[in-house]
Amino acid sequence: MRAGEFVFRQGDRGEHFLTLLQGKLKASTLREDGKEAILAVLEPGHWFGEASMLDGLPRTHDVLASRDSEVLGVDQATFDRLMLDNGFARAVCVLQAQHTRLVYRLLEDAMLRSTRARIASRLEQLARGDGSIDGEQRQLVRISQDELAMMLGISRQTLSLELRELVAGGALELGYRQLRIVSLERLREMAAQT
CATH code: domain of residue 171: 1.10.10.10
The confidence score (pLDDT) of residue 130 equals 53
Torsion of CA 121, 105, 5, 143, to 10 degrees: 0
Based on the fold, state whether residues 17 and 103 are members of the same structural domain: yes
Q: Which of 165, 154, 159 is nearest to 187 (CA)?
A: 165
The confidence score (pLDDT) of residue 137 equals 60
Based on the fold, state whether residues 92 and 128 are members of the same structural domain: no
pTM: 0.76
The confidence score (pLDDT) of residue 134 equals 46
54-69 pLDDT, tens per residue? Answer: 999 999 999 999 999 9
Based on the fold, state whether residues 55 and 133 are members of the same structural domain: no
In CATH, what number is assigned to the domain containing residue 10? Answer: 2.60.120.10
Distance, CA of 63 to CA of 48 (rounded, Å)? 10
β 62-75/47-48 pair status: unpaired
Task: Name the stretches of the chain with pLDDT < 70.
Answer: 130-137, 194
Based on the fold, state whether residues 52 and 1 are members of the same structural domain: yes
Torsion of CA 149, 58, 79, 88, to 10 degrees: 50
Based on the fold, state whether residues 2 and 46 are members of the same structural domain: yes
Distance, CA of 25 to CA of 180 (rounded, Å)? 21
23-37 pLDDT, tens per residue? Answer: 999 999 988 888 888
| Residues of the domain holding 36 | 1-112
Based on the fold, state whether residues 6 and 21 are members of the same structural domain: yes
Based on the fold, state whether residues 161 and 180 are members of the same structural domain: yes
DSSP letters, the chain, are --TT-EEE-TT----EEEEEEEEEEEEEEE-TTS-EEEEEEE-TT-EE-HHHHHH-PPPSSEEEEEEEEEEEEEEHHHHHHHTTSHHHHHHHHHHHHHHHHHHHHHHHHHHHS-HHHHHHHHHHHHHH--TTT--PPPSEE---HHHHHHHHT--HHHHHHHHHHHHHTTSEEEETTEEEES-HHHHHHHHH--
Based on the fold, state whether residues 33 and 126 are members of the same structural domain: no
Based on the fold, state whether residues 19 and 101 are members of the same structural domain: yes
Based on the fold, state whether residues 75 and 102 are members of the same structural domain: yes
